[in-house]
Amino acid sequence: MKLIFEIRDLKFATPATATRAGILYISEERQWQNMTTAWATRYLPEYAKAAKWKDEKVPMDTVIALFDKYCPDTIFELKKSYQHLTPLATMNWVTSLVNILHGG
């Protein structure tokens, strides 16, 4: 028998529950940066090659730097200044941005 536990947070879970259920804690604070870096590493060298960049790493480094420069302030402003009908995690906002950039 296998069970899947879907929980929003570990606020009410005891350590015994977490270990028995095999729950992994992934901090949302840095999760979006890991995702954008993985996306840039996976797809931008392919773009650079097709665009015939001399150094295929330049577009990847540039896009990662732009994410690091603009996303934290934008995320802060979204959380501070806007009221959302449906609560969304930071990861959802950044995933939508990546999907727009990727064209999918």
Question: pLDDT digit string (tens) for 22-75?
Answer: 666 666 777 899 999 999 999 999 889 999 999 989 999 999 999 999 999 999
How far is CA 92 from each of CA 6, 34, 76, 95, 96, rounded to the nearest angstrom?
Answer: 17, 14, 14, 5, 6
What mean pLDDT comes out for the span 65-93? Answer: 91
Q: What pLDDT does residue 7 have?
A: 63
Structure tokens at 97: 């941005």
Structure tokens at 1: 């028998």
The answer to whether 25 and 8 are in contact (CB under 8 A) is no
The answer to whether 101 and 66 are in contact (CB under 8 A) is no
**What span, in angstroms and rounded, lies between the C-alpha atoms of 46 and 81?**
37
